[in-house]
Structure 1
Amino acid sequence: MTTTQALPRSEEDVLREFRNSGALLEGHFKLSSGKHSGHYLQCARVLMNPARAERLAKAVVAGVPSEIVDNIDVVVSPAMGGIIIGQEVARVLGKDAMFLERPEGTFHLRRGFALEPGARVLMVEDVVTTGLSSREAIAAVEREGGEVIAECALIDRSVGSVDLGVPFYPLAAFDFPTYDEDSIPEALASVPITKPGSRKN
């Protein structure tokens, strides 16, 4: 017998989902953005339980204004991190899900995916820090003939400072400090570096 759990609404609710799944990591991480941090949110781990992934996706969609939801034709995510949450968000919306890949360094659609000309796209990410991957993915959608009308994400590590060029609706924002290569605190620099993201740095 399954029980229906309440959707995570507050940032503490979302952080609890990460803690409970062992997805809030501590150490020294080089993020996909190139910045360094003592914390890493491993979204693949928090999403590995299908019921939790569904719950988080429903919470993400609940934060997107209805006027945007009503105009979405298709969901697109950047690989690898955005694939699972993108699929789950698409399921909630009743839309198809596609993902972008960059085997040669530039995002594009593969595997037979194609956008209808003028398709209105919801971009879905797992974590946004500097927004670089998101902006590259949005540009790729434009090259593929679609239009990104908004982006949503599980986590905004920029805490509202990122500019993606489209409306952005994260489920939660966490202010874990990040550091450039030349400004890493001594205590963090003494810890061996882990590169958990999918971007090749």
Structure 2
Amino acid sequence: MTEDEILAEFREAEALLEGHFILSSGLRSARYLQCARVLMDPKRASRLAEALAAKIDSSVRDSIQVVVSPAMGGVIIGHEMGRALGKEAMFLERPDGVFHFRRGFALEPGAKVLMVEDIVTTGLSSREAIKAVNDAGGEVVGEVSLIDRGGGHTLGVPYWALMKLEIPTYEADALPPELAAIPAIKPGSRAA
């Protein structure tokens, strides 16, 4: 898929929003990608996952044994990546603020894991999820996301995104005047 085709999928799903948004990281942005909307159409989700799976280097793709994603945002695309790769997909949750496997999910010791996110901005959630996989005895061999927001992140594993979309982010006390004039909303699933 080309970048124009990817953005067309987001626009068609009304998933590219404009306003004043508080991101999961606590940073502020004038644009927000609502991946839940773009993924609510199973055919679209499947197309995006197939395109994302094609980006993974074959040496990594061939080593993947299981797909893991952090809840909430990564659950749907993680499931679709599992389908695209023909691998089981499970997810991590953080009921106490720290990622854990629940619901009977468990990794075989040394399992080679592909971490799947919807959007990566700072990489904090990804690093926390990777640590949870390592703590559970798995080994993350790579990570993928639909969108890399260009947060200058370092994940410590090979990383591929379907698309890089640099959207400026701001600290709450350093907003440009046009953004400060708009009431902020928190559209994601995690408290800032």
TM-score range, shorter chain: over 0.9
Deviation at 1:93, TM superposition (A): 0.6
Whole-Å separation in 2 of the counterparts to 1:184 and 1:10: 32
Match of 2:47 in 1: 55
Deviation at 1:83, TM superposition (A): 0.2
Match of 2:147 in 1: 155
Whole-Å separation in 1 of the counterparts to 2:190 and 2:175: 20
TM-score by length of structure 2 reads 0.98
Deviation at 1:72, TM superposition (A): 0.3
User: Over aligned residue pairs, what C-alpha RMSD do you find?
Assistant: 0.8
The amino acid of 2:52's aligned partner reads V
Deviation at 1:13, TM superposition (A): 1.5
Deviation per CA, 1:71-110: give whole Å up to 9, x if none: 0010000000000000000001110000000011000000
Count of aligned positions = 192
Q: Superposed, which structure 2 residues align to 1:1-201 within 5 Å?
A: 9-158=1-150, 161-201=152-192
**Secondary structure at 2:81 match in 1:** helix
Deviation at 1:200, TM superposition (A): 1.5
TM-score by length of structure 1 reads 0.94
Whole-Å separation in 2 of the counterparts to 1:88 and 1:38: 29
**Secondary structure at 1:25 match in 2:** strand
Deviation at 1:189, TM superposition (A): 1.1
Deviation at 1:34, TM superposition (A): 1.1
Q: Runs of 5+ in structure 2 lacking a partner?
A: none
Deviation at 1:162, TM superposition (A): 1.7
Deviation at 1:10, TM superposition (A): 1.9
Whole-Å separation in 2 of the counterparts to 1:81 and 1:37: 18
**Secondary structure at 2:142 match in 1:** strand
Q: Which runs of 4+ in 1 moved over 2 A?
A: none
Whole-Å separation in 1 of the counterparts to 2:118 and 2:138: 21
